Amino acid sequence: MDQKIFTMGLSVEATSLYLLMVSLSDAGTPLSLESCRHFWNSSLEDLEAAMAELAHRGIIDKTSLENWFIQPASHWA
């Protein structure tokens, strides 16, 4: 986990999703909407908005149609 995430002015939901995705990735779980949704405690709309925010800022990117990966902090905007 990169501490930079806390200084980027992201929404609470996007920051929470990043932390969730780091945890899932560390456990070897593919990062997909479904794998995140399993642990997400808010609405699907909030999850999708948080994913879009992370993607827009270059924090996550797609590896395929369904799976995401976390970019190195040097790619974040």
Q: What is the pLDDT of residues 27-59, one digit of tens each?
A: 999 999 999 999 999 999 999 999 999 999 999
pLDDT number for residue 64: 83
Place of tokens 């827009």: 56
pLDDT number for residue 66: 87
Give the mean pLDDT of 15-31. 97
| Per-residue pLDDT band at 63 (split at 50, 70, 90) | confident
Record the pTM. Answer: 0.94
The CATH T-level fold of domain 3-75 is Arc Repressor Mutant, subunit A (1.10.10)
